Structure 1
Amino acid sequence: MLPLSIGPTNSALMIKKISGKDDQKKLLANMGFVPGEVIKLISQNDGNVIVGIKDGRVAIAEKMARRIMVEEVKHANLR
């Protein structure tokens, strides 16, 4: 497992664990960041991380991305 903030770009990543305070976890969950969800790290710039999740893209702060632990998934269907 590694933090989303240093994950490989344009690869399928499965969310394994989210750390932080309950309100931070709830905010991330409301955006679709939940354990078991497959996402794609699109880019990182200026302290922000752009993530493909479900049918859209979301920008989150790098600090938040460090709380999301992921594993690379082989053979995933990315959008």
Structure 2
Amino acid sequence: MLSLIMAPLNKNYKIARVKSLAGKDITESHLANLGFVKGAIIRVVNENDGNLIVSIKDARVAIGKDIAKKIFVEEM
């Protein structure tokens, strides 16, 4: 299991868990609404200074490096 920020580009991964974001329930529920839930398939499309563009559920989403560090994935 590795942090999403360390995942190589253009390789499919499965979300293993989304770590608590220090009392920010709104952020966690927003991520869940975007599809960042356990078992979802995710692919890092682009990386710029630690910030990521990921493909999840047929959509592309930009996330900051602080949030990407809290998403843990595993190889499929």
TM-score (norm 1): 0.84
- Structure 1, unaligned stretches of length 5 or more? 74-79
Question: Considering only aligned residues, what root-mean-square deviation do their CA atoms show, in Å?
Answer: 1.1
Q: Which runs of 4+ in 1 moved over 4 A?
A: none
Moved more, 5-14 or 23-32: 23-32
Shift of residue 56, structure 1, vs aligned partner: 1.2
Q: Which amino acid aligns with 1:2?
A: L
Q: Which amino acid aligns with 1:48?
A: N
Deviations 1:16-50 (A, max 9, x none): 01012333321211111000001111111034100
Q: How many corresponding residue pairs?
A: 73
1:33 maps to 36
TM-score (norm 2): 0.87
CA separation in 1, counterparts of 2:6 and 2:54?
12
Shift of residue 67, structure 1, vs aligned partner: 0.5
